[in-house]
């Protein structure tokens, strides 16, 4: 059994190379079908995301030639091999298994511990299954990879801490507000950062959005996405008193929210807390606002520091994650070992049965005076002798079947069992005589 993984990722290839080798789901399905037509004896899976393209190939009977697979990828994307060869990495067998498990567990992601890769791998596996390009080996491997990912997420803290500014901001807001359903959210600005924060707020059931921007059409677009309402930029003042959460992300040379402005608004709010996220550079909110009672102000630097701390905390979990990977890889390789040793062990038992029949028939024929009861006793005794001879031989094959010397090991044990026929014949003859003597005494 052989496993080969070829690919490139954000660690080895710039985006201009990755985008040339990216496959759409439909393109991946077509490529897998073509690969199967060319190499019907091989199992294949193709993973393509914005950060990586990897092809996983397995065969139970054939050696895998990396160069043929590289050429196939180049043909599938109509790109010369020279354009991406330097960016490729290649793993075989245990290294390929470990890499797959690391990717599936989020340990090789641009953001360590991110969960999106799991759904992408599930989609890649589903496409390969639909095309019929996975078999016994890859099916087992993929199920084991997903099981490993689940263990990593549930048994470690690798994904417990948020590592993006919008997600950290919303986590902090959750420490202040138990429920977002009745909270008014004022969004000043409609750029990418504001959009991301709104998406995270929607994920925690926030519903009441008011969006404003110097470009009203942009505000309307974001408000529509949030199922909120847009107001002109000059109406910020009127919206402040009702706003429980304020997100500012607008380019402006001077502060949008001054200390005096927010102090005046707080008098109208009757002590209700106000949470302000200042995501702009230069800052939209004066630093003094954070000193006001019941006002919680976080700017981009403060949030960035928390993100950095969370990333470090995730990295500390990697050692624990790798221990889980070691355990799961060991389990999978034991399953592989059983698959490798199974045919060898079956042949050893077959040869042992043939040896038993041949020698037992010969010896009983040479002792025609044995009764039926004596022949039955001899047969059972011989079976026990064969079993005792087989046990250490089979155990040795199973223990060594993971390594490349498995076949040689099996052959050695097979020869050890089958070659000393004369010794075994003499032992059987003594057994027959002993059984006969015992039977004579009893009679």
Which residue's structure tokens are 């969004």? 187
Rounded CA gap, 3 and 64, in Å? 8
Active site residue 252: no
Q: Please choose, from the candidates 377, 373, 374, 379, the residue with its C-alpha nearest in 3D space to the C-alpha of residue 356.
A: 379
Q: 3-state class of 297 per DSSP? A: strand
Q: How far is the first Cα of the chain from the last one, in angstroms, to the nearest whole number?
A: 58
Helix, strand, coil percentages for the chain (3-state, nearest 5): 60, 15, 25
Q: Alpha-carbon distance 331 to 98, whole Å? A: 12
DSSP 8-state symbol, 366:
T
| Gap between the Cα atoms of 69 and 341, Å rounded | 28
Residue 246 and residue 272 in contact, taking contact as beta carbons nearer than 8 Å: no
Number of residues assigned to the chain? 443
Q: Distances in Å between the alpha carbon of 428 and those of 352, 375, 414, 437?
A: 14, 12, 20, 14
Provide the annotated active-site residues.
50
């Amino acid at each position: 059994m052989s496993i080969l993984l070829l690919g490139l990722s954000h660690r080895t290839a710039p985006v201009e190379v990755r985008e040339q080798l990216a496959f759409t789901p439909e393109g991946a399905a077509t490529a897998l079908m073509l690969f199967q037509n060319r190499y019907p004896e091989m199992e294949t899976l193709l993973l393509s995301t914005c950060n990586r393209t990897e092809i996983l190939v397995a065969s139970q009977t054939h050696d895998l030639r990396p160069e043929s697979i590289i050429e196939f990828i180049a043909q599938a994307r109509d790109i010369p091999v020279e354009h991406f060869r330097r960016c490729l990495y290649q793993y075989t067998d245990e290294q390929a298994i470990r890499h797959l498990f690391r990717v599936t567990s989020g340990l090789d992601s641009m953001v360590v511990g991110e969960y999106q890769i799991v759904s992408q791998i599930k989609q890649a596996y589903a496409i390969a299954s639909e095309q019929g390009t996975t078999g016994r080996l890859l099916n087992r491997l993929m199920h084991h990879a997903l099981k490993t990912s689940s263990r990593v997420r549930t048994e470690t803290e690798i994904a417990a801490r948020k590592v993006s500014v919008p997600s950290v901001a919303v986590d902090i807001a959750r420490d202040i507000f138990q429920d977002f359903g009745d909270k008014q959210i004022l969004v000043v600005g409609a750029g990418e950062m504001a959009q991301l924060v709104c998406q995270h707020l929607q994920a925690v059931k926030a519903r009441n959005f008011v969006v404003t921007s110097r470009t009203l059409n942009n505000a309307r677009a974001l408000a529509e996405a949030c199922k909120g309402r847009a107001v002109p930029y000059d109406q910020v003042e009127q919206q402040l008193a009702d706003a429980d959460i304020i997100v500012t992300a607008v380019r402006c040379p001077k502060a949008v929210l001054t200390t005096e402005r927010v102090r005046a608004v707080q008098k109208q709010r009757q002590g209700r807390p106000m949470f302000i996220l200042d995501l702009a550079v230069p800052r939209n909110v004066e630093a003094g606002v954070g000193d006001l009672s019941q006002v919680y102000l976080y700017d981009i630097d403060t949030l960035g520091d928390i993100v950095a701390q969370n990333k470090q905390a995730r990295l500390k979990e990697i050692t624990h994650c790798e221990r889980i990977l070691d355990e799961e890889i060991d389990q999978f390789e034991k399953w592989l070992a059983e698959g490798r040793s199974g045919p060898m062990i079956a042949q050893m038992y077959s040869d042992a049965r043939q040896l038993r029949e041949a020698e037992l028939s010969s010896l009983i024929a040479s002792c025609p005076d044995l009764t039926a009861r004596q022949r039955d006793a001899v047969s059972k005794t011989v079976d026990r002798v064969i079993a005792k001879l087989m046990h250490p031989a089979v155990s040795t094959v199973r223990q060594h079947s993971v390594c490349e010397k498995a076949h040689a090991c099996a052959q050695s044990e097979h020869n050890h069992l089958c070659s000393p026929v004369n010794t075994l014949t003499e032992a059987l003859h003594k057994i027959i005589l002993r059984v006969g003597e015992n039977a004579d005494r009893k009679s």
